[in-house]
Amino acid sequence: MTNPTAAMLVIGDEILSGRTRDINMHVLAQALTQHGIDLKEARVVSDDRDAIVNAVKSLSEAYDQVFTSGGIGPTHDDITADCVAEAFGVHIDIRDDARALLTAFFERRGVEATEGRMRMARIPDGATLIENPVSVAPGFTIENVHVMAGVPSVFEAMVASVLPTIKGGAPLLSQTLRIELPEGEIAGPLRGLAEAHPTLSIGSYPFQHNGAFGSNIVIRGHDGSEVDAAMVKLAELFPGNLA
């Protein structure tokens, strides 16, 4: 059986402008790998309604799960929730359960529940809330789309909240071998190894150290015994050249 597939949609002008470095994809990719879900695509779009709506629609149709990051805060440019509602053709408004969470949180801290802050309680009809143990304001899941905050600490917490509710598959295993030969000298044998193990992913990642070129060979797969066997063959291909 093949693992479920997933895509990530990163939303925000600040990412595309270079003002903010996205680290959420790294967090999500690691979590999905451990959960047995294959992240197949990551897409970044601006704070543009049509771009977000179209991306949500296309990714939701193409993959088993979609995870979005960004655009669910209290300001005018936080339009992700509205766009997701539009993509699924449902109504969106402040919902009682989300309102109650935020109201209690603000009261405990003596913070006014302004109109802007209460925007974070706007949830599309039919969605379920994603717990946010960091700052309370929830994300939400509608069909196969999981809408989460862009703040890294909150995003990571929301991923941890939602993943147990999603069926995964076999975790992806990986091993690495460091070979002190440039890629041009290992390309042929490496191709043969890949052909002999078509269910494995075999990648070559070059490095340079003290003027010498080498390659880190990473073998990935869901069958631990096959990964082990391929690693043994790899080491036999390059005796005397292992770091």
**Residues 108, 52 share a domain:** yes
**Residues 185, 231 share a domain:** yes
140-191 per-position pLDDT tens digit: 999 999 999 999 999 999 999 999 999 999 999 999 999 999 999 999 999 9
Domain assignment present for 243: no
Whole-prediction pTM? 0.87
Asked whether the beta carbons of 99 and 49 are under 8 A apart, the reply is no
Its domain, for residue 188, covers 173-237
Nearest Cα neighbor of 135 from 101, 96, 94, 162 is 101
| Residue ranges for the chain with pLDDT beneath 70 | 1, 243
CATH code of 81's domain: 3.40.980.10
**The pLDDT of residue 17:** 96
Q: What are phi and psi of 83, to 5 degrees?
A: -70, -40
Asked whether the beta carbons of 192 and 184 are under 8 A apart, the reply is no
Tell me which DSSP letter residue 120 carries: G
